[in-house]
Chains A and B, each alone.
Chain A
Amino acid sequence: MKKHLLSIDDVTADDIAEIFATAAEMHDVQRRDVKKLPALRGRTVINLFFEDSTRTRSSFEIAGKWLSADTINITGKGSSTSKGESLRDTVLTIGSMGVDALVMRHSASGAALQVSQWVDASVINAGDGTHEHPSQALLDAYTLQRRLGSLEGRHVVMVGDLTHSRVFRSNVLCLTKLGARVTVVAPPTLMPSGVTEWSRAAGFETSYDVDAVLPTADAVMMLRVQKERMSGGFFPSPREYTVGYGLTRDRLALLGPDVPICHPGPMNRGLEIAADAADAAQSVILDQVSAGVAVRMAILYHLLAGEGSAA
């Protein structure tokens, strides 16, 4: 496995299978009394988060601690060009303390890649702007695979604000890599620029019509409609979005009862996903959370435990 996990492009389908197998074992550790494995004892992992996130950060923190690593949380200052330290100076300060891994979340796309060129530590991208969130995609795929058996040939439908979603970008790469057929659905204003060209090259499909696509879905992934990222003009009103693209009760009925429903969270109940859908028996949203720790343990283990890892 490569030294960094910046993008799903950094892992092969075999790497992913290995991560999933390890994650399955890590899942069992979560149920024990003594939730500890010594594999990363003596390693130091810094969670460097420039953007708020309780969920992902605590997930990585727990994962590191259960592997006996020393994990430390640092809140990076919001990026500001004219005042304060450059990003490089900031990470070099931390990087020169001899840390083994940097789990980084930043509001700028590409920040994790840039940082990986400046530090010796392994860099794990915990979300860079609207670009990627590889550990999320891995835990999503892992959760779906546990439910469906295999993702090969399965039809996974993703609905939401694609333009601003790093979860979408990582997931589409991950799911197609695992052999799934992916259709992404959004209103035209929320489709990323150049998506027609990109989807053709990457092998996924696009649609503006969620009702046409849902009946053939084997799994559904609802993406958060990110109010805070938008400044006007993407859709007229929340209710119009819900009627056009939300997973309402009526749309829930279009899905077979065995079709798992995912959401990376946090959810806007009533906007992109009805409460009934979020709480339905077929929802795997809570499974995603517990999978998150197991998958992140597997990622940390494979990147740091053996020879050829940082430090």
Chain B
Amino acid sequence: MSEQPPSSPTPHPGDQPGDQTDAPSAAPVPGEPEGRIVLDERDIARALTRISHEILERNKGAADLVLLGIPSRGVPLAKRVAERIAAVEGVEVPVGSLDITMYRDDLRKHPARGPQHTEIPSGGIDGRTVVLVDDVLYSGRTVRAALDAMNDIGRPDVVRLAVLVDRGHRDLPIRADHVGKNLPSARTERVAVRLSELDDVEGVWIS
């Protein structure tokens, strides 16, 4: 889950510098974020390739897989993983999105934000192996909200979690199955993910 740099053009009050909780999905922002880059475009590509192989390995193939990206940046990541799986296994795995705005446990702390798009693939999720895909894993509240959201949509057999960056500091007993990069960070630091589908630069920065 990427965090807003202080100069975001669409500020949400929960995303002020020093805010310790998960920031909600950030809108695309222009220019490079502050700080140093920890993953560049090629690092991201390699990480996603590895994650895609891990998913297939763990699942022993592509059968019954469904990828659900968590908006905003989880969605293009899920699509990239699906592309890689198609290239390796020759199978088109269903890809969708799962917005968790209405399931957040901190709804009442901010003005109500409009939900982003939820698209559940036509085969649904009942009896499937759902892999949630997100950019940053931090407190774990987003994932917990995603599990609640899925509960109201169907009943998967298995749920796994793939993230590009795990920055530690879990508030809940939640762990990722597939991690692009472990990035130990201080709570005061900000991790910013940029992807070319949404932003004009690509990479992961920490400041």
Contact = CB atoms under 8 A, between A and B. Distances in A.
A contacts B directly (C-beta below 8 A): yes
Contact of B103 (A21, A33, A37): A37
Interface in A1-59: 1, 18, 21-22, 25, 28, 32-34, 36-39
B112 A301 contact: yes
A22 B148 contact: no
B99 interface: yes
B107 A39 contact: yes
A309 B117 contact: no
B7 interface: no
A307 B108 CA distance: 5
A176 B153 CA distance: 38
B117 A25 contact: yes
Contacts of A22: 114-115
Contact of A308 (B103, B111, B154): B111
A302 interface: yes
Nearest to A22: B114
Contacts of A307: 13, 108-111
B60 interface: no
17 contacts: A1-B111, A25-B114, A25-B116, A25-B117, A32-B152, A32-B153, A34-B152, A36-B152, A37-B103, A37-B152, A38-B102, A39-B102, A67-B102, A305-B112, A306-B107, A306-B111, A309-B112
Nearest to A39: B102
Contacts of B114: 18, 21-22, 25, 302
Contacts of B118: 25, 28
A34 B112 contact: no
B115 A25 contact: yes
B99 A25 contact: yes
A305 B112 CA distance: 6
Nearest to B113: A306
Contacts of B110: 306-307
B79 to A, nearest CB: 20
